[in-house]
Amino acid sequence: MEVIGTRGLSKSFGLNRALDQISLSIGSGEIYGFLGLNGAGKTTLIRSLLGMINPDQGQIHLFGRELNPKFDQWNKIGYLVESAKAYPELTVAENLKVFGLLRRIKVPALEADAIERLKLAPYRNTKSKALSLGNLQRLGLAKALFHKPALLILDEPTNGLDPEGIVEIRNLLLDMARTGTTIFISSHILAEISRLADRIGIIHKGKLVRELHAHELNRQRTTSLRLRTRDNPKAREALLNQGFPAIQIHPSWIEIKDERAIQNPSSLTRWLSLQNLPPEEIYIFKEDLEHFFLRTLQIENQDD
């Protein structure tokens, strides 16, 4: 079942095209990671999905229903947009109670459960103005998920959390996805997205420039062999003569993007040694998500 569907979604603010023909389809139980530079349109898309911004063009469907003023599925949705905020004079429990009232949920146990799950129990009666940034973020997450939504829309959910908190939240989200919750998550922490998401979308200048499954990511990320010798220009020439597409990526480093070399670095090492050019250092370079992301944006910029 399609939980989030957008068709040709566009939005401009003056001359700035914040969203340009965004079409997405996200299914039940999926974790969809959304990447983009600052100002790429991530938050505009998230706010549009939540009905906070009216698109100029296109449609949004949530749970198969068109998002319009009569949309009535809001209790199936939990969200955290940008940094978490709370009523400063109210305690953690009271802040949750406000949203319990506004969501018309009469089960105090749900609020208590969210407090426990997000490890806010010691701060239950602390005013939110006295919370640390990390605990405020936990409160924001508690507000987003206390009513056990079927869809969670999270914008930078790990902001302000310490490493232990990041792992806890990651596990919590993975648990929720396993029980069928669909999660739409944007983050600038690319490694976090790569650990969580089933599918990744990259937005740039308002356009969805790339969409791929997590398992595809491994294939898409480039792998190469990098080596360094005493005489790099001579080694490069020898490698080229041997049919290896060697390029000098740095005065100290030669890179070879060739499966024969990548699969069998020891043979190459032996061969270079026979040429009196033994590698001083040699390793397999696997592009990380950050490199992949920046490379994708570079390609897009060149296309523009």
Partner 1 sequence: MTDFSHAVRAEWLKLKGSPMVRFSFIAFGLAPFMVGLFIIFIQYPELAVKASSFSAKAQVMNIQPNWPSFLAVLQQALAVGGILVFGFVASWIFGREFSDGTLKDLLALPIRRSTLVKAKFAIYFIWCLGLSFSNLVIGTGIGILLHLKDFSAGPQSLTNYMITTFMVILSGSPVAFIASWGKGYLAPLAFVALTLVLSQILAAAGFGQFFPWAVPGLFSDISGGTNLLTGWSHVILCLTGITGYFLTRIYWTKADHIS
Candidate segments 85-93, 226-234, 235-243, 289-297, binder of partner 1 by CB under 8 A: 85-93
94, 113, 258, 300: residue in contact with partner 1 (rule CB under 8 A): 94
Site for partner 1 contains 241 (CB under 8 A): no
Binding of residue 124 to partner 1 (CB under 8 A): no
3-state secondary structure 14-51: CCEEEEEEEEEEEECCCEEEEEECCCCCHHHHHHHHCC
What CA–CA distances, in Å, run from 47 to 19, 79, 90, 95, 137? 11, 10, 26, 22, 19
The answer to the question of residue 123 lying near partner 1 (CB under 8 A) is no
Among 16, 23, 57, 83, binds partner 1 (CB under 8 A): 83
Burial annotation 6-21 (CB, 10 A radius, 16+ → b, else e)? beebbbeeeeebbbbe
CB nearer partner 1, residue 153 or residue 193 = 153
Please report the DSSP string for 217-252 in residue order. HHHHS-EEEEEE-SSHHHHHHHHHHTT--EEEEETT
The answer to the question of residue 34 lying near partner 1 (CB under 8 A) is no
Smallest distance, Å, CB 139 to partner 1?
11
Residue with token string 């009216």: 54
Identify which of residues 41 and 165 has a Cβ nearer to partner 1 in the complex: 41
Among the listed residues 118, 179, 106, 187, the one whose alpha carbon sits nearest the alpha carbon of residue 147: 106
Tokens at 203, concatenated: 């937005």
Candidate list 1, 14, 38, 54; residue touching partner 1; CB under 8 A: 54
DSSP 82: S
The residue from 34, 79, 146, 184 that contacts partner 1 (CB under 8 A) is 79
Shortest distance (Å) from residue 256 CB to partner 1: 48
Please report whether residue 103 would count as binding partner 1 according to CB under 8 A. Answer: yes
**Residues of the shown chain interacting with partner 1 in the complex, contacts defined by CB under 8 A:** 13, 44, 47, 50-54, 69, 72, 74-75, 77, 79, 81-83, 85-90, 94, 97-99, 101-104, 127, 143
